[in-house]
Copies of this chain bind each other. A is one copy, B any other.
């Protein structure tokens, strides 16, 4: 129902998004959207890519006198700091663990400059749309907080993580790495600087927590809430895994240890624990929704690697261009945005089926 269409390449004219199905009468400004884009933009700190992009957004349609009209909202970000020449070598050589070869095999052509369509600049559109979705959810009392829970082996201690109160935006933004646990954040930043200095890269895990989702969102079979969240997260560049609630670790428990007992709180059913992660049978149960997303180490590294060229000959390639040694800090607002888009969509679906005809 709430759909987004993104377009654009890393080194083309720009990138953008069209948001279709947005509820009318939502007050929204370019500044609010810009604030979210600033959280994912390059050059925001000394542990991310130095590509110099303001990523300034223009709202082209769908907003009139400060409010949404219900018409499609088109948003445009022009590319500024393009250095396509930096990619000449990639025209002929497939970068390891990048999409170059797969695109070539699929389409018989590709825009090689900075990965073209496969560049993470595509996610600008998602974050711009996500800013609108987050504002809609906020009007319903729903808050979404993603943060970096682990970089390589440096993790927020499990006991801290499981007991952590719902973090504030300020706590997350307090460190450049967007980890709300200060000691861990410091170590993570150190590690990222080390691997960057070595021309290498690291990955890790982002946790996302969502407060305030009422029971009843999600479809029971194919479009389960966790299925759509999983799809949304695995659609992000560099993501390799998703787990909700107890996830992979929960498979080590017995049913008697794993089940969330129901307790009565003010006459309403609540779960004593939350290994379900806020979703049961594909449908939200009113508890906190939380999930983890695994991001692999950035594929672009400044070290020589074996590869093959377009003619099939063995060759070597050393990364150039400007890249993130670790994508996680900038992926935090993207994860939040995708979660918001999924939730708004499911909220609309739920209201369409169960709220239209009062029977």
Contact = CB atoms under 8 A, between A and B. Distances in A.
A354 B70 CA distance: 8
Q: How many copies does the complex hold?
A: 4
A246 interface: yes
A241 B25 CA distance: 33
Contacts of A180: none
Interface string A23-44: 1111100000000000000000
Contacts of A72: 5-8, 117
Given A259-B299, A263-B308, 19 more contacts: A7-B18, A7-B71, A12-B64, A18-B18, A24-B109, A25-B108, A71-B116, A105-B215, A105-B283, A201-B256, A202-B255, A204-B251, A240-B250, A241-B248, A264-B313, A348-B353, A349-B352, A352-B352, A355-B356
A177 to B, nearest CB: 15
Interface residues of A, number: 156
10 contacts: A23-B354, A67-B109, A101-B215, A102-B283, A106-B215, A117-B220, A152-B253, A240-B277, A243-B294, A256-B301
Nearest to A203: B251
Interface in A207-233: 214-218, 220-224, 226-233
Contacts of A255: 97, 195, 200-203, 297-301
Given A116-B71, A220-B117, A96 B240 contact: no
A52 interface: no
